[in-house]
Structures are given as C-alpha cells and as structure tokens.
C-alpha cells in the first residue's frame, strides 16, 4: 500500500513536510516517482538522460542512461522511503530517500553515478571524493557537470505559473510532456493550433491527452 503524508503548516507559505514510501518508478538518475508523486533526490545531480561522458581511454559512453539504470538497480523490487520539506520549481518533492536505511543519494555519488550538488548541499562531498579517488563511474574519465549541460541546452519555453505540463499535438495524437520527460525541452507549444499547458496530470488526462511515455 502506498502512503503519502502531507503535513501542512498552520501559517501561509510554501513550506511543508512530506513523507512518501512504497515501490518506485525511476525517471532518471536523480528523480523517482512514488504513487504518482515526483521526487528529486536531495543533494545530488546525476548526468542528464542523454548525456555522454568519456572513459579513461577517451571513448564516449552513455553516462546519463547508465545513471538511470544505477538508480533503478538500487530500488528494483524494494520499498523506498523519502522525506522532504521543499518543492522545486517543477513541483517535485526534494527529498532524502532510502532503501532499508541506505541513503540513495549517498550511494549514487559514492558509485560515481552522480555529482554532489554543491549549489544546494555539501552533504555528499565526502562520497564524491571516494568516487574520484577510486575513479568510479563518471570519474573514470571526464564528465561535464549536468548543470552546465542544461545551461547549454535550448532555452525552455516559458510556462504559465504553476502549469508546466506541455500538451503537444503530433502524429501520435494529443500527448503531454512532464518537465522531467526526455522530450520536454525541445517540445514547443503553439496555442494557436490547439496545443496547451496543463497544471496537473489529472487535468491533462481528463481533457483526453495521454502521457508521452504511455
């Protein structure tokens, strides 16, 4: 049974506390979904889904896809517990997550599958040092920081406040894209042709649109 507990503050404001636990769906190397709720792992930044790194011999390898698989391996068939107090700009819970008490963020960084996200936390710097010293994963050769990869990507089309889901009409029909989806950044919305923005997945589905991954 999935459990989602939302503890709302008595005063107005964005702060809240939340706990999620149950089986997960892995989105990428630092994002999970539990019972329909998106969770961004606190304190780490994994290579972007399509990002490529180079190994010790200078050969390219799909580090983004490998990071996704690494997180999938850590969580497959296991209950995950997440606890967080903030949401990011995409509405995802930013949380520490664990399997049987094992911190997933620490494991990903220690295995060389993610960077310590120093912009927001120094909690996993020691694990990153261990991975570097052992030349594990992204530290076996060279890897561009994911934040730099994102900064060099095509600018994201501005979304209405709180409504970042893109409703796109294509040869596949009426498809919606979530902010973490692979094709989100390159998908452009033209409201003149009937395309639109949605605030929630439930709203998109009720309007007859289906997720790009369905």
Predicted local distance difference test score (pLDDT) of residue 35: 86
3-state secondary structure of 125: helix
Segment 146-166, tens digit of pLDDT: 887 877 765 556 788 889 899
Q: Which long-range contacts (CB under 8 A, 24 or more apart) does 52-59 make?
A: 53/138, 53/141, 53/142, 53/143, 53/144, 54/141, 54/142, 54/143, 55/140, 55/141, 56/135, 56/140, 56/141, 57/141, 58/141, 59/141
Determine, yes or no, domain membership for 107: yes
Q: Given 151, 181, 198, which residue is the final one in a domain?
A: 151
Highest mean pLDDT among 17-21, 115-119, 182-186: 115-119
Predicted local distance difference test score (pLDDT) of residue 17: 65
Lowest mean pLDDT among 42-46, 83-87, 123-127: 83-87
Q: How many domains does the chain have?
A: 2
Quick one: 39 and 76 in the same domain?
yes
Quick one: 109 and 184 in the same domain?
no
Quick one: 38 and 102 in the same domain?
yes
Domain of residue 119: give its range: 3-151
Predicted local distance difference test score (pLDDT) of residue 81: 95
Quick one: 67 and 146 in the same domain?
yes
Determine, yes or no, domain membership for 81: yes
Quick one: 94 and 48 in the same domain?
yes
Provide the mean pLDDT of the chain.
86
Determine, yes or no, domain membership for 70: yes
Predicted local distance difference test score (pLDDT) of residue 1: 40
Determine, yes or no, domain membership for 156: no
3-state secondary structure of 67: helix
Does the predicted TM-score (pTM) go above 0.75?
Answer: no
Quick one: 71 and 25 in the same domain?
yes
| Structure-block tokens of residue 116 | 């310590």
Number of other residues whose CB lies within 10 A of the CB of residue 201:
15
Predicted local distance difference test score (pLDDT) of residue 5: 42
Quick one: 40 and 122 in the same domain?
yes
User: Across residues 66-92, what is the average pLDDT?
Assistant: 93
User: Across residues 169-198, what is the average pLDDT?
Assistant: 86
Quick one: 18 and 124 in the same domain?
yes
CATH number at residue 123: 2.40.50.90
Quick one: 27 and 70 in the same domain?
yes
Q: Is 57 exposed, middle or buried (0-12, 13-18, 19+ CB in 10 A)?
A: exposed
User: Across residues 133-143, what is the average pLDDT?
Assistant: 94
Determine, yes or no, domain membership for 159: no
């Amino acid at each position: 049974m999935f459990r989602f507990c939302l503890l709302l503050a008595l005063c107005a404001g964005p702060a809240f506390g939340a706990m999620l636990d149950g089986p997960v769906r892995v989105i990428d190397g630092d994002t999970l979904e539990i019972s329909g709720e998106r969770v961004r792992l606190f304190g780490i930044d994994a290579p972007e889904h399509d990002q490529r790194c180079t190994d010790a011999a200078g050969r390219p390898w799909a580090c983004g896809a490998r990071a996704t698989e690494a997180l999938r391996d850590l969580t497959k068939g296991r209950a995950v517990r997440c606890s967080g107090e903030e949401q990011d700009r995409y509405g995802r819970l930013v949380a520490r997550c664990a399997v049987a008490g094992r911190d997933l963020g620490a494991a990903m960084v220690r295995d060389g599958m993610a960077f310590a996200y120093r912009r927001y936390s120094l909690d996993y710097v020691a694990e990153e040092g261990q991975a570097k010293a052992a030349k594990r994963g992204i530290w076996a050769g060279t890897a561009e920081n994911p934040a730099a990869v994102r900064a060099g990507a095509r600018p994201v089309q501005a979304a209405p406040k709180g409504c970042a889901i893109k409703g796109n009409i294509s040869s596949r029909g009426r498809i919606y894209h979530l902010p973490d989806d692979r094709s989100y950044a390159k998908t452009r919305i033209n409201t003149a042709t009937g395309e639109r923005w949605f605030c929630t997945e439930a709203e998109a589905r009720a309007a007859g649109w289906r997720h790009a991954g369905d």
